[in-house]
Amino acid sequence: MATIIKIIWILAIVFNFALQTYFLIGATAFFNRATGLEWGIYLRTIWIVMMILIIVSIICLILGRIPLDISSQVKLIVLIVIITILSIIIAPTPIQKEGWLDDRVSVLHYTPSSEILVQTTEDGKYEYFLEVINSFQRNSRAQLFVRNVATGEETRIHLDMKNPRISTRLGGTPNRERAWSHLVISDTFPLIYILTTTWYLNDMIESFEICMETKTSRRID
């Protein structure tokens, strides 16, 4: 019976440790963002208690602290099963995969129709809008969506933004004057455009030189 309890106990430890690790990684998008209110409360209470129980269980197994009488052994099994079930039920699930397993893409929309705010360059050759990937996280990044009006060719150009956690302003009614960025043709080269972010994206205004021929960008310091 003691051997059976030891096996069940070890399986419960492995399962709960994997479960709590998964919850921690999911709540922080693999440590790329802060936890929200619900996850913050869970991690500061239930998660810490569960990890303490896991550590205590490992110590007990190493020291061989398993009850000898059948009654205590049955109670221990029941307790292990109950704790394992509660750890699943209490956890705030499901865990969102966006920002962790899947990218979360933010774009500026018209409201309330939720149509993407597509802008057009002054020469009428390109349609464009700015995409922010995983905003407010350490793994955030930005890219410029560009569509050639004449050919219909679509491409996304990476932007090397300085902000390590690209933030986006929410709320309000967006329009072309309140866009996140503006793309204007260069005065010197016909295939070079200048992209400038605006206050409506965030306080950090940045400019990039966009080459439509090579589909690349270069920061303008």
Query: So where are the chain's domains?
Result: 2-90, 105-220
Confidence bin at 62 (pLDDT 50/70/90)? confident
Estimate the crossing angle of helix 2-27 against helix 48-63, to 10 degrees: 150
C-beta of residue 133 within 8 angstroms of C-beta of residue 140: yes
- 129 φ/ψ angles, rounded to the nearest 5 degrees: -160, 160
Per-residue pLDDT at 84: 79
pTM of the model: 0.73
**Per mean pLDDT, which range of 37-46, 156-165, 184-193 is the poorest?**
37-46
Per-residue pLDDT at 172: 54
Confidence bin at 152 (pLDDT 50/70/90)? very high
Residue written as token pair 């998008």 = 29
Which of residues 126 and 56 earns the better pLDDT score? 126
What is the overall mean pLDDT for the chain? 84
Per-residue pLDDT at 60: 84
Per-residue pLDDT at 153: 96
State the average pLDDT over residues 122-150: 93
